[in-house]
Amino acid sequence: MKIAFIGDIVGRPGRKIIKHRLQNLRDKYNIDFVIANGENASHGFGLTVKNADELFKSGIDLITGGNHSWDKKKDMLTLLETNEVLRPDNYPKGVAGSGIKIKEIGNNKEKLAVINLMGIVTMPQVLNPFTHILEILENVKKDDIKHIFIDFHAETTAEKRVMMQLLKGKVSAICGTHTHIGTDDLEITNGTFYVTDVGLTGCRDNVIGMDDKIPIQKSLTGIGGHFDVPNSCKSIMQTIIMDLDENGKCVDAFKIKMYDNKEDVVLKSLV
């Protein structure tokens, strides 16, 4: 099974480069299933039904979320009911939607569990992601599901690293999101792929995908404002491609950084 994961999509520039590049990427690497974090896909804050439909038509199969999942609440409630969209599973009980999806992949109908979690540092109120994931895995393992992918949307590198140490050998992959800054610490340990943060898909010449005027103003004066996604910028699409064997172990993985105006860069994982 070959799956791909795209880091935080930020606004129209992120959606645009996915529309132009994803299908060729799927064909070139024979990707079976594409997951993407889309909590910033609609002008940097939340996800609308219209933009979700655009991403699905561009070749994304499942969209995960994070702390901005509820910024377009009305749209999100609709998406959680009718589309392949997740929100972090460790929101308190009673919150609409789910952070777990079981999919059958390929002609062999191999089951893939996609799990969306959120950290606790500087984030909205959620349940402990570490105890929560152990409970989830107990149920997933009972169903003999071996292919398990986790999008861990967290602020701190330490949270993400602890998750890797807790789950190595128990899941297929853990990909960090949220900071929008890609890291180069790709590794495969005991059959588990890990990267601290995939990095954003969108504008790469501003501040985490947003126009730099307000971030600079806030840094100089302490007075903030509304962050906007530029209409014109240099863009990047950051994707992890993972090859999982029949036992759910990751046997190969690499990251592709695709640019709008320069050659692609490929980073291999450390085995």
Q: What is the DSSP string of 217-232?
A: HHHHHS--------SS
Q: What is the DSSP string of 156-187?
A: -HHHHHHHHHHHTTTSSEEEEESS-------E
d(CA 6, CA 241): 9
Beta strand spans in 91-167 (E): 100-105, 110-118, 147-153
Tally of CB atoms within 10 A around 242: 23
Residue 64 dihedral angles phi and psi, to the nearest 5°? -105, 170
Among 43, 68, 132, 180, the one annotated catalytic: 68
CA atoms within 13 A on the CB side of 137: 19
Residue 180 among the catalytic residues: no
Catalytic residues: 68
